[in-house]
Structure 1
Amino acid sequence: MADRRPILILYASAGAGHRSAALAIAQSLRALAPDARVEVHDALSHTNVAFRSLYAQGYLFLANYLPAAMGALYRATDRPDAREFGLRSHLQCLNARPLATWLAGRRPALIINTHFFPAEIVARLRRQRRIECPQFVVTTDFDTHRIWRQSPAERYFTATPDGKAYLERCGADPSAVRCVGIPVRSTFRQPLTQRRARLALGLEERRPLALLLCGGFGVGPTQRLLKALMPLRAIARIVAITGKNERLRRQLQRVTAAARQVHIVGHTTRMALWMHAADVCVTKPGGLTCAEALVCGLPLILVRPIPGQEARNRDYLLERGAAVFVKHAGILAHRVRELLLNDSQRTAMRARALQIARPRAAEDIAREALRLLGRGIAAAEPPTSFEATL
């Protein structure tokens, strides 16, 4: 009889990247094992309302208004003797009792975590023998924080060799750590020319396109960045994508209503097309967004990194030559113009991006999961057509 226990993929809604990684892994699992029961859940939805709001909104508040405090917290908890771990872990477990009860009742075959919060809860439940299923831990930045090492865990998946080495230094069993990259959806890795992407989006073929990804910014910083880019309208089209932030989308549409060559896009399922269509991308150095851009070979212009994981992402991408960093909005237009007018630099950055990209990370994780469970695997993940996203 086939094993009908579900494979649970858990994330936490503190930033959009963890959910994107979870969906990418789920997509690959379903493609490789169509009969498998694969479920994606926000672990915070199984906690009490107050904790859920504090966890998700607290992250956004610190990131947007107190980034220095967030960086200090990141560094303080990345020490072997961090006292904050004990208190934080105790409070999390108290507030995650509904999650623990739910997990014990689900009896999953495997749990795959794309955030450290559910990984920590699962590890504690296993130590208490309340659940027995194996778990995977999937990191979502180019560097790794020790909070991702949760024991027991059968596999850890990191984005880079440095991340793997650091997890091992933090106590992870080297035989359990795999360096596969950050999981992205299959649409990003489909071969697509810039010309075809622009035709699909109804854009002019020849006019340069600067993409501003602003879902992670607040209204004020985004307006300043967009205003800084406005002088480029003489040579380029500027497209700002606000994601699910409707307030931000409406605000930007009001302030750019009369501006030519400026387009505001809200939540879209066409992000892969936009990245393939663009010449450069201005963004915060979030792990998932940057991983998607690398797979598309898109040169990155990084701004406003959150101290901690985003600053480390920035450093990694700068060291590899796939990005440039702009310290403040006053020189943003200058640096974007430089890059748009320098074909050889963009070509070199594109080559370096593709060199370090790991387009099959989600498939590699899915294959490892199915092997662990002894389930049949399709010969290859079927390609995803771009037309399905149009």
Structure 2
Amino acid sequence: MSAYPNRKIVIFYSSIGYGHISAAQAVKEEISKLNPKAQVLLQDIREFMHPIWRRIDERLYWFVAANLPECFDALFHNVQARGNSALSLSQLPNDYPEEKVLEFLKNLAPDAVLATHYGSAQVLGNLREKGLLTDIRIGWLHTDFFEGYLPRISKRIDRTFLAHHELESRWLAAGVPAEKVVTSGLPVCICNDDRGREAILNAIGLYAHWPTVVITSGKEGVSNYSAIIEGIAEGYQDHIQIIAVCGKNTRQQAMLNELKGRLAERIIIRVFGLVPHNDLLSWVKAADILITKAGGMTPVEAFAMSTPTVLIDAVSGHERENAALFTRLGVAEQAVDPKHAGKLVNSLLADRKRADAMRKAQREFKENINIARIAEFALDETFVPVVPPPDFGVENGAPVLNMNETLAELDAQVPAELELLLSYSTSQKPQRIVLENPFGHIAIRIHDTVYSANYIADPSVDPNFLQHMGLADYLYGVCRPSPLQIHTNTYGMAYGRENIGLRVSGIA
């Protein structure tokens, strides 16, 4: 009997790449293992886009990714820079209308919402930041291996699941609370083909005793397969067989079928289009080497099967970030171009110790995988989202709790008679998200009192041109100390500014 009651869970994914779908399906299966009665709905976040823009956007994405890698790389880093500099993530461009997503969730009334794509998680965070979805658990599985501005998303939702403990260290360093981050690994699909190598290869007309290489590059079949195979053929003088999975790329298939007639008989090529994922997993399991792009999911599936992997630079941006981490961990090698990929294949086939070292690193990498953590979060009825009240931090609203105790603890750790308080970003009116940033501010704390200039004080109404208050009110106050003081400008600074305290001891 299941330990969990009936639950309703929505998993958002993006159909722009197969990895997000694969991850969502694997999480759904894991949830069903723990609670067969749970209702799990997979939903493509791109269905909320305008249908015309959706088609244009996908075609543009793959055209730029496949043909203009440096442009794609620049666009990727520009998006990350904008995400890091934006005052609020809700100010960033958004292809997924929040009102449609909210209506969808209201109609379904799920207990938990998961996302396997950061765009989905960002929309959910926007809604939560606006005081919505307060009674629904929100989790996000990051299916890549880069940081960018993404820790900011994690701060606004309940739980983020990361693929490797190195990423968790980065998230914590970026200020994400430890209770919001879990290293779960990626929910890879495990090959359920019980056949041995011989049976798998014989089924497609190949030999078990020949070295076997699989080439796959997503459903779009990006990169130059012909150049990869020519690179192998130039340096490998013995028999070898290659399984080329081209996805929907019919042009790629035609080029490979033409290449077959020009290669020596010692090289066998089997060309496939879009194949069932289980077939691809079986071939990777039977292969000596996999050549693939550095998406989040396919390489990790190969690592789970201890298949030595060569990464091609087919899609730049986030995949270059992925590749950098994979190569640093020793679980794959990175090719600079298609011909170089062929050379790396040849060197791995010739150097057993090198291939074995990669397999060892892959087994260590696999130890990160524990996707039960994702399912347990989705099913945990005791988990209550921690959501600030709607008026948190605004003037006359809900104040920070335990601020005096926290400041007392700080004083005990770093005692000082004098403290310079420096800050920047100011607002002209009370607001939680500050939109203006003209000048900075400086104050001085002597013992228990903070002094700073109130430059708009009117002596006939408020003689306190030099304001003085306790540090708790200066940082976290929500009640106006005097008529001409402005919230987040002269008090309640922590809600509208970045504050630095420079503490000095030993001065009378």
Q: Which deviates more from structure 2 when the two are superposed, residues 49-58 or residues 195-204?
A: 195-204
- Counterpart CA distance in 2 for 1:8 and 1:168 is 27
Residues 1:136 and 2:139 are matched in the alignment: yes
Counterpart position of 2:38: 36
Counterpart position of 1:103: 105
Q: Structure 1, unaligned stretches of length 5 or more? A: 375-390
Larger relative contact order (CA 8 Å, sep ≥ 6):
1
Residues 1:262 and 2:272 are matched in the alignment: no
Would the aligned equivalents of 1:233 and 1:262 in 2 still touch at CA under 8 Å? no
Q: Residue 38 of structure 1: SS of its match in structure 2?
A: strand
**CA deviations over 1:170-218 (Å, ceiling 9, x no partner):** 3422111011211112337x88864565466664221000111133665
- Counterpart CA distance in 2 for 1:33 and 1:63 is 40
Residues 1:339 and 2:342 are matched in the alignment: no
Q: Residue 191 of structure 2: SS of its match in structure 1?
A: helix
Q: Compared with structure 1, are the counterparts of its residues 158 and 372 closer, same or farther at alpha carbon in structure 2 (3 Å cutoff)?
A: farther
Amino acid paired to 2:270:
H
Q: Which deviates more from structure 2 when the two are superposed, residues 149-158 or residues 39-48?
A: 149-158
Question: Whose strand proportion is higher, 1 or 2?
Answer: 2
Identity %: 23
Would the aligned equivalents of 2:164 and 2:368 in 1 still touch at CA under 8 Å? no
Q: Which deviates more from structure 2 when the two are superposed, residues 283-292 or residues 53-62?
A: 53-62
Counterpart position of 1:207: 210
Could you state the TM-score of these two structures normalised by the residue count of structure 2? Answer: 0.66
- Counterpart CA distance in 2 for 1:135 and 1:101 is 16
What are the residue-to-residue correspondences of 1:154-165 with 2, within 5 Å?
A: 154-165=158-169
- Counterpart CA distance in 1 for 2:148 and 2:291 is 25
- Counterpart CA distance in 2 for 1:234 and 1:347 is 21
Q: Residue 71 of structure 1: SS of its match in structure 2?
A: helix
Q: Structure 2, unaligned stretches of length 5 or more? A: 384-508
2:157 to 153, 158, 172: 153
Q: How far 1:288 moved relative to its partner?
A: 0.6
**CA deviations over 1:45-94 (Å, ceiling 9, x no partner):** 1222133224433332231122222222332333474349768734435x
Amino acid paired to 2:187:
P
- Counterpart CA distance in 1 for 2:88 and 2:144 is 20
- Counterpart CA distance in 2 for 1:163 and 1:56 is 28
Aligned length: 371
Q: Compared with structure 1, are the counterparts of its residues 295 and 147 closer, same or farther at alpha carbon in structure 2 (3 Å cutoff)?
A: same
- Counterpart CA distance in 1 for 2:305 and 2:316 is 26
- When the two chains are superposed, the root-mean-square deviation of aligned CA atoms in Å is 3.0
Would the aligned equivalents of 1:299 and 1:350 in 2 still touch at CA under 8 Å? yes
Q: Compared with structure 1, are the counterparts of its residues 256 and 6 closer, same or farther at alpha carbon in structure 2 (3 Å cutoff)?
A: farther
Q: How far 1:277 moved relative to its partner?
A: 0.5
Would the aligned equivalents of 1:138 and 1:156 in 2 still touch at CA under 8 Å? yes
- Counterpart CA distance in 2 for 1:348 and 1:134 is 41
Counterpart position of 2:323: 314
Counterpart position of 1:170: 174
Counterpart position of 1:182: 186
Residues 1:328 and 2:337 are matched in the alignment: yes
Would the aligned equivalents of 2:312 and 2:337 in 1 still touch at CA under 8 Å? yes
Q: How far 1:319 moved relative to its partner?
A: 1.6
- Counterpart CA distance in 2 for 1:313 and 1:221 is 20
Would the aligned equivalents of 1:209 and 1:237 in 2 still touch at CA under 8 Å? yes
Q: Residue 34 of structure 1: SS of its match in structure 2?
A: coil
**CA deviations over 1:274-327 (Å, ceiling 9, x no partner):** 111010111111111111010010111112153332112212221222222221
**CA deviations over 1:104-159 (Å, ceiling 9, x no partner):** 22111111100011111122222334433111110111233323642431111111
- Counterpart CA distance in 2 for 1:220 and 1:180 is 31
Q: Residue 284 of structure 2: SS of its match in structure 1?
A: helix
State which structure, 1 or 2, has the greater radius of gyration over its C-alpha atoms.
2
Could you state the TM-score of these two structures normalised by the residue count of structure 1? Answer: 0.84
Counterpart position of 2:231: 228
Amino acid paired to 1:182:
L
Q: Which deviates more from structure 2 when the two are superposed, residues 203-212 or residues 302-311?
A: 302-311
What are the residue-to-residue correspondences of 1:41-80 with 2, within 5 Å?
A: 41-79=43-81
**CA deviations over 1:235-272 (Å, ceiling 9, x no partner):** 21011112344554355335436765100122133122
Would the aligned equivalents of 2:188 and 2:301 in 1 still touch at CA under 8 Å? yes
- Counterpart CA distance in 1 for 2:248 and 2:91 is 30
Would the aligned equivalents of 1:183 and 1:359 in 2 still touch at CA under 8 Å? no
- Counterpart CA distance in 2 for 1:149 and 1:67 is 27
- Counterpart CA distance in 2 for 1:219 and 1:119 is 27
Q: Compared with structure 1, are the counterparts of its residues 258 and 32 closer, same or farther at alpha carbon in structure 2 (3 Å cutoff)?
A: farther
Would the aligned equivalents of 1:14 and 1:57 in 2 still touch at CA under 8 Å? no
1:303 to 312, 318, 322: 312
- Counterpart CA distance in 1 for 2:60 and 2:191 is 32
- Counterpart CA distance in 1 for 2:324 and 2:119 is 25
- Counterpart CA distance in 2 for 1:145 and 1:208 is 39
Would the aligned equivalents of 2:10 and 2:43 in 1 still touch at CA under 8 Å? yes
- Counterpart CA distance in 2 for 1:32 and 1:181 is 18
Q: Compared with structure 1, are the counterparts of its residues 126 and 225 closer, same or farther at alpha carbon in structure 2 (3 Å cutoff)?
A: same
- Counterpart CA distance in 1 for 2:220 and 2:231 is 15
Amino acid paired to 1:293:
A
Counterpart position of 1:241: 245
Q: How far 1:165 moved relative to its partner?
A: 2.0
Would the aligned equivalents of 2:327 and 2:334 in 1 still touch at CA under 8 Å? yes
Would the aligned equivalents of 1:111 and 1:135 in 2 still touch at CA under 8 Å? yes
**CA deviations over 1:326-352 (Å, ceiling 9, x no partner):** 212333333222211222222221121
Question: Whose helix proportion is higher, 1 or 2?
Answer: 1
Amino acid paired to 1:337:
N
